[in-house]
Amino acid sequence: MACREIFIEMKLGEPPKPFYLHIDTGSGQTWVLCANGETLSIISSLGPNGLLVTEEESVVAYIGPTESLCRAHTSDPEHNMRCEEEDDYACFFSIMYADSSVYLGVVVNESMTLSMQDASEKRVFTLFGCVLEKHSRVEKLPLLTDGVDGLGRCEGSLVDQLWTSNVIQKKILGVCLAKELRQRPSGPLPPGRVGFISLGMDFSSKFDSQNLVWSKLAGPE
């Protein structure tokens, strides 16, 4: 299969601003490059849509009802356990990938605008990583995306949060790709929309089940 980048567009913040996010079904950690209040972002290379600007009040706490979700958004829980009252018990975000790249920041509770099945839009609040610092040995420039959408079978993933808050009724992730991708062409495809992602919709009631391929999402290791 020819090498290609597949990502989705999601609207974050208020007013809603589009960002391009890589699809990651192997983890539940969603993040976007951003700036938070007076905290300076030290990111030198930005994605195509710049930074998401969030307020200091949007940072969630590592104590109380958000503690378990905060723990799910960091690959170093001990880091959050060292937080102190002077930091307002802020929930710190961190993730490391297989190529040793590391992304650090805080976990925020921010608005996300979703496109619904009836073509309307719904504004919801979800927790995700606000990345203020990144370390990567190899980075292909220019960046094609602004972050990552974690859609894995994990606590705190976007699917889990939307299901818990009753925005969707079923924990189902549907991915529909264009025929051109399924036919595995030898040459590169031109940029453009190649499909869509559906959260919570039972595809078996909408499409011919013989053309559906079901697979369990990867869970945390």
The structural domains of the chain, ordered by start, are 7-168 (2.40.70.10)
Please tell me the predicted confidence (pLDDT) of residue 1: 37
Strands of 55-187 (E only): list them.
Answer: 92-96, 102-115, 121-135, 147-150, 173-177
Residue 46: phi and psi, rounded to 5, are -105, 160
CA distance 82 to 94: 14
CA distance 13 to 54: 7
Please tell me the predicted confidence (pLDDT) of residue 181: 56
CA distances from 52 to 48, 61, 105 (A): 12, 20, 13
Please tell me the predicted confidence (pLDDT) of residue 197: 81
* Cβ atoms of 217 and 153 closer than 8 Å: yes
CA distances from 2 to 130, 156, 189 (A): 32, 33, 9
**Segments of the chain scoring below 50 in pLDDT:** 1-3, 80-81, 188-189
